[in-house]
Amino acid sequence: MPPNPPPRRQAPANSRPYPALACLSDQDFNAIAHLVESHTGIHLGQAKRNLVISRLSRRLRALGLGDFSQYVTLLCSGRADAELVEMINQITTNKTDFFREPHHFKFLSEQVLPTLENQAPRLGPKHLRAWSAGCSSGEEAYSLAMTLEQFCSPRPGLTWKLLATDLDTNMLRLASSGCYLHEQMAKMPRELLFKYFHRRRESGGYVYEVKPYLRHMISFGKFNLIHAGYPRRTPLDFIFCRNVLIYFDGPQKQAIVEKFVDSLRPGGWLFLGHSESLLHTNRKLLCVGPTIYRKP
In whole angstroms, the minimum distance from the beta carbon of 90 to ligand SAM comes to 11
The dihedral through the CA atoms of 98, 292, 115, 218 has a sign that is negative
CB-nearer residue toward ligand SAM: 21 or 133 = 133
Query: By CB under 6 A, is residue 130 in contact with ligand SAM?
Result: no
Q: Contact 240/144 with Cβ under 8 angstroms?
A: yes
The partner residues of 127 in beta bridges, in order of sequence, read 159
- 100: contact with ligand SAM by CB under 6 A: yes
Asked if 289 and 260 touch (Cβ cutoff 8 Å), the reply is no
Of 166, 168, 215, 242, catalytic? 166
61: annotated active-site residue: no
Q: Which residue, 21 or 147, has its beta carbon nearer to ligand SAM?
A: 147
Per rule CB under 6 A, is residue 40 in the interface with ligand SAM?
A: yes
From the list 5, 134, 231, 268, which residue makes contact with ligand SAM (rule: CB under 6 A)?
Answer: 134
Q: Is 225 in the site for ligand SAM (CB under 6 A)?
A: yes
In the bound state with ligand SAM, the residue whose beta carbon lies nearer, of 243 and 282, is 243
Please spell the DSSP secondary structure of 236-277, one letter per residue.
Answer: EEEEEE-SSGGGS-HHHHHHHHHHHHHHEEEEEEEEE-TT--
What is the Cα–Cα distance from 157 to 176, expressed in whole angstroms?
28
Q: What is the DSSP string of 119-149?
A: TS-SSS-EEEEEEEES-TTTHHHHHHHHHHH
In the list 96, 177, 184, 263, the residue contacting ligand SAM (rule: CB under 6 A) is 96
Point out which residues bind ligand SAM (CB under 6 A).
40-42, 92-96, 100, 134-136, 140, 166-168, 171, 224-226, 242-244, 247, 273
Q: Which residues are catalytic?
A: 55, 166
